[in-house]
Amino acid sequence: MPAPMLSTSPVYPALYLYPLNDSFFIPKQIALTTYGRRVRLGRKSPSSNAQSSRAPEKKQVNFDSSVVSRQHAEVWQEGNKIFVRHTQSANGTFVNGRRLSPEGQASYPYELKTNDLLELGTDITGYFDTIAHQRIVCRVVCVFTRVEVAMVAMADSRRQRRGYSVTGSVYIPRYQEVSAG
């Protein structure tokens, strides 16, 4: 089954999250167009829709997982950087296998980079060491320009034509402007 397509409208800066470890969520495209505005990452709950209508200043991206708290982490953009911060949940937020803060404590901001692995929560095992509740694991793609949006779209399209998942690594070269001295 081909992976679902992301939005065709170019949005940047943005954070794209691609599912890994059978997390079973549709790839997420999180627009970070308002400088410094934080977007919460959390568990989907019956009151999520009611909360978002009462507090329009806070945007939330939901995951269907019981190991992710309702307000698990937050992401935002400053300049040409995207940051994540863990917000005191018990099950933790990890970037490339590194826990951002001790259990129950908020973390300092951590810069996300393309191809980082972002994990929300930890696996909870049940009887016979089977996983009863699975953490969310996703590959990060940070997009800041129209060119990067096009490159991500081309990489996704190529993978889908070949029958691959869109969750593999994405190479996006970063061009630096050289000022004439």
Write the pLDDT tens digit of every residue in 15-71.
999 888 776 788 888 999 777 789 999 987 666 555 544 554 568 888 887 778 888
Alpha carbon distances (Å) from 138 to 59, 166, 178: 20, 11, 34
The residue ranking higher by pLDDT, 11 or 178, is 11
- Give the pLDDT of residue 119: 92
Higher pLDDT, 167 or 125: 125
Given pLDDT bands bounded at 50, 70 and 90, which one contains residue 177? very low
- The dihedral region occupied by 163, where left means phi > 0, alpha psi between -120 and 50, and beta the remainder, is left
Q: What is the pTM of this model?
A: 0.75
Lowest mean pLDDT among 20-29, 53-62, 88-97, 129-138: 53-62
* Predicted pLDDT of residue 165: 54
CA dist 100 → 52, 142, 145, 173 (Å): 26, 19, 28, 27
